Structure 1
């Protein structure tokens, strides 16, 4: 197992396919404040494990990505978005002690799990087969996006294990969206349920962030730390509205835009 350097204060990631400068606005607003204090954020040990060094996916990963840069940068970006700064008393990052990236061959894209013996030790499993099939023109961007999404799972809260999976995945994709790492196929579209998950919930959360102000998703994540998730009280306590009403408002804005 290769141990990667611990996270340091690095600039936000950029992407050649970023089309909305507002996606990076939270980074721009907090970069100066966090540059000198990022070291106070949780600083987990970072490790890399490769199960098959000769797999084409491994070759592509290592030729386009420097994990000792990409992973610490992604961690710092997500911490800024979900926790603002180490000195912010309204947020409390979890005590994640280690993150191990494991490149191995399996169907699917990636998943994150905790160690059975230490809940603060996280493992990100990334499919070598998936990596080998990514369009070469956006290989580095997609790897960065997937890693950012999975790293969010290492540092977010889940309402004492009771939050809907769509919300958890939506928060992870919202961070990816705000980092300018949305893939080309993502788009806002009308869905039946607010917790459809992934980019669908991410765009809904981004609507709430714009409507209620920067730090809205941060407040959602913090409430998921403090309280066991109960939809009947969770959203009204935050926004004085239930989530179905908020989602109906969001859906109306999409229809007005012809989406």
Structure 2
């Protein structure tokens, strides 16, 4: 049956990971401060082992300078933020409203995304690089999948995030914090799509999704099914997975690669990557060579060697050669 006039087909979802029913959340891989988590009534802390593990950073983790709540930081100007729940009687609506601070989750999420991907609004470069997004509406409705983001028919600067109430209602609840982390993590991933650049539409979809999951990772919102690649083990269930064959496999696979680059080439590498995607059309060889001084295939091989145990830890950290950074990417 043809669509009625003046309607637009729903686009293909851009974020549809499989559900995870694991009982325990992973230790945070985070660098930025977590987004707001509504406390449980009556308070109460977790066990000592869980508390201690949350302080443990991975090999390539470094303390973040991008905390949204850091004192003395200039807050980013925000677009208009809206929340629309299409069915308050849906089970997913109750889960959402009791799991996150609905009045602030979007605002804090946007601040975290902007602080990860953009220079400070107090910087001279801010006026040139500021995103054009004018509004973000979070729409909760009954639908298949998990979530997707699109520009509105009015103007692509007005964004809509559609989040599935059906998915929210089915998030396995071993603890209230699991629902909070998953809902907030999905929202942060989709918020990145509202503000990131894509090299004039020419960069790989895997890089677009990898940047979104990189920000989610840095906010301490990695879900239980994400596992950082590592060297081969003894074949047990807890063995770290090997990295995929391609650097642009997308989602968490590319996110961990970007996290490696952020640690290797200094904090702000992904921010400069986003700015370079704003300033020019993406052409793979030139893009990565200008950004980091070498082609992405070499960077990917370095990453694989490192996580599989073939890298040399000594002298691993390095800064980007200034000559390799184009004027458009300097922040």
How far apart in 1 are the matches of 2:146 and 2:62? 24
Give the one of 12, 16, 25 matched to 2:64. 25
Question: C-alpha deviations, 1:82-136, integer Å up to 9, x for none?
Answer: 1131023345121211100000111111110011221110000000111011122
Secondary structure at the counterpart of residue 253 of structure 1: helix
Secondary structure at the counterpart of residue 111 of structure 1: strand
Provide TM-score, normalisation by structure 1: 0.88
Matched, 1:13 2:35: yes
Matched, 1:60 2:95: yes
CA RMSD in angstroms comes to: 2.2
Question: CA 1:23 to 1:98, structure 2 compared with 1: closer, same or farther past 3 Å?
Answer: farther
For the Cα contact (< 8 Å) 1:98–1:120, is it kept in 2?
A: yes
Which structure dedicates a bigger proportion of its chain to helix?
1
Question: C-alpha deviations, 1:68-94, integer Å up to 9, x for none?
Answer: 211111111111111131023345121
Secondary structure at the counterpart of residue 146 of structure 1: helix
Question: C-alpha deviations, 1:191-223, integer Å up to 9, x for none?
Answer: 100000000000000000000000000000000
For the Cα contact (< 8 Å) 1:46–1:98, is it kept in 2?
A: yes
How far apart in 1 are the matches of 2:122 and 2:273? 19
Question: C-alpha deviations, 1:34-83, integer Å up to 9, x for none?
Answer: 2xx21xx3321111111221111111101112222111111111111111
How far apart in 2 are the matches of 1:29 and 1:97? 20
How much does 1:24 deviate? 5.6
Matched, 1:198 2:237: no
How far apart in 2 are the matches of 1:171 and 1:124? 17
Larger Rg: 2
How far apart in 2 are the matches of 1:89 and 1:172? 26
For the Cα contact (< 8 Å) 1:42–1:93, is it kept in 2?
A: no
How many residue pairs get matched? Answer: 244
How much does 1:20 deviate? 4.5
How much does 1:237 deviate? 0.5
For the Cα contact (< 8 Å) 1:12–1:73, is it kept in 2?
A: no
Secondary structure at the counterpart of residue 64 of structure 2: helix
Secondary structure at the counterpart of residue 95 of structure 1: coil
Question: CA 1:185 to 1:14, structure 2 compared with 1: closer, same or farther past 3 Å?
Answer: farther
Q: Which residue of 2 aligns with 1:148?
A: 188
How far apart in 2 are the matches of 1:104 and 1:95? 26
Comparing 243-252 and 57-66, the one that deviates more: 57-66
Question: CA 1:207 to 1:152, structure 2 compared with 1: closer, same or farther past 3 Å?
Answer: same
How far apart in 1 are the matches of 2:87 and 2:36? 30
How far apart in 2 are the matches of 1:101 and 1:201? 26
How far apart in 1 are the matches of 2:113 and 2:88? 29
Give the one of 255, 263, 274 matched to 1:210. 263
